[in-house]
Amino acid sequence: MPPLTPDAPPDAPPRAPTFVSRAGAGTDPVAGPAAELAAGLQAQPAAIAPKYFYDPLGSALFTAITELPEYYPTRTEAAILQACGAEIAGVLRAALPPGFDLVDLGAGDGAKAARLFGPLAPGRYIAVDISEAYLRQALDALQRRFPALPMVGVGLDFAARLALPEGLPAGPALVFYPGSSIGNFAPPQALRLLREARALARGGALLIGADLVKPPAVLEAAYDDALGVTAAFNRNLLSHVNRLLGSDFELADWKHRALFNAAESRIEMHLQAQRALTVRWPGGERRFGAGERIHTESSYKWQPAAFEALLRQAGWRQVQCFSDPLAWFGVFLAQG
Ligand SMILES: C[S@@+](CC[C@H](N)C(=O)[O-])C[C@H]1O[C@@H](n2cnc3c(N)ncnc32)[C@H](O)[C@@H]1O
């Protein structure tokens, strides 16, 4: 990518990001996260959706994961955007009107989108994330760096439905969904989300990262690093669940597991009970045998042609795939 927009001059007038809270909008509209969590814990096998990783500590731990030597997706995606940035920017400049909205799905710390501000010159940055407190902090910091760019934060759970408040975006937009987060969705749900992203783009474009199939040893190391940061990220989920559900998980009872399921083409993360135990919460409980697991994340790994086909099935056109020399990661560019 060409150089970034220069940081704020010292005398730039202050601007505050706007914030819209719609967190919980994607969960059961009647019962909310507690009911969703209780149902998952009572399912056979037990499961907790990966969106519950992201309390403020979970978001910070994810940012730490992106720095780990084993976690190739972030640096590989960044290298692809660096190497192919001029070509991507050329296509997007032709496809989008001046002053378009840049919609960042699962924005996290917004660092990846910030690298697009200079080359693409969006008219507004709309950052969407379930981890509201973390997003507010991240946007405040970004706004200080880029005071001239209007920014809107949307605290939203888009797992069940991607629908932004009225007027967001205002016209043809770039939907940016990096980090291979689309891999957390099984193919039918990924298709649904890509269709909703297309409706959101309003004739604009999509720039999305998808992780590709590669040797299982590389995949498993990326999700089970030597330092134990991914294990901490996985176990921290239980602290978050304790707060949301009022449950009594003891983190030390649970061991992090990551394995590649070749039949499903996905990495799975689990938490495995280290002894027989019972977890209780108001109105419910679940007994776990020693060795029994809670499924906490699936991360689907795609063949490039299959992901391109999924994009086309969702209605996206002029799909292009940019990859790295090892073909470990794909950045896909598509038009609405
Ligand atoms: C793997 S991180 C990626 C962060 C950043 N975009 C990157 O590529 O480094 C996934 C992000 O998506 C957010 N997220 C996860 N599930 C979500 C959901 N259901 N709705 C909205 N945001 C979600 C998380 O809070 C987190 O910031």
pLDDT in tens, 92-126: 999 999 999 999 999 999 999 999 999 999 999 99
CA of 265 to the centre of ligand 1 (A): 21
| pLDDT-based confidence at residue 3 (cuts at 50, 70, 90) | very low
Mean pLDDT estimate for the chain:
94
Atom of ligand 1 nearest to the CA of 209: 8
Entry pTM: 0.94
pLDDT for residue 227 is more than 80 = yes
| Cα gap 304→80, rounded to integer Å | 15
Mean pLDDT of 239-258: 98
pLDDT for residue 42 is more than 90 = yes
pLDDT for residue 9 is more than 80 = no
What per-residue confidence (pLDDT) applies to 328?
98
Asked if residues 161 and 24 have their Cβ atoms less than 8 Å apart, the reply is: no
The residue whose CA has the least distance to atom 5 of ligand 1 is: 108
Mean pLDDT of 187-212: 98
pLDDT in tens, 149-172: 999 999 999 999 999 999 999 999
pLDDT for residue 1 is more than 60 = no
Preceding peptide of 45 cis, ω within 30°:
yes
CA of 61 to the centre of ligand 1 (A): 12
What per-residue confidence (pLDDT) applies to 5?
44
- Running DSSP on this structure, what letter comes out for residue 109? T
Atom of ligand 1 nearest to the CA of 77: 8
CA dihedral over 81, 87, 93, 95, signed as positive or negative:
negative
Mean pLDDT of 20-32: 64
| Cα gap 260→296, rounded to integer Å | 14
Q: Is the CATH number 3.90.1150.10 carried by domain 18-23+70-213+301-335?
A: no
What per-residue confidence (pLDDT) applies to 10?
55
Q: Ligand 1 pocket: which of 37, 67, 131, 164 to mutate (most atoms <8 Å of CB)?
A: 131
Specify the residue for token string 């083409």: 265
pLDDT for residue 333 is more than 70 = yes
Residues in Cβ contact with 317 at an 8 Å cutoff, skipping those fewer than 6 apart:
334, 335, 336
CA of 106 to the centre of ligand 1 (A): 3
CA of 108 to the centre of ligand 1 (A): 6
Mean pLDDT of 7-25: 71
What per-residue confidence (pLDDT) applies to 30?
46
What per-residue confidence (pLDDT) applies to 14?
74
CA of 29 to the centre of ligand 1 (A): 21
| pLDDT-based confidence at residue 4 (cuts at 50, 70, 90) | very low
pLDDT for residue 7 is more than 70 = no
Atom of ligand 1 nearest to the CA of 51: 16
DSSP 198-256: HHHHTT-EEEEEEEB---HHHHHHHTS-TT-HHHHHHHHHHHHHHHHH-----GGGEEE
Pocket of ligand 1 (CB under 6 A): 26, 51, 54, 59, 62, 66, 74, 106-108, 112, 129-131, 156-159, 178-179, 181
Nearest to 64 by CA among 178, 225, 184: 225
Question: Can you give the residue ranges of every domain in the chain?
Answer: 18-23+70-213+301-335, 33-60+215-300
What per-residue confidence (pLDDT) applies to 167?
95
What per-residue confidence (pLDDT) applies to 15?
86
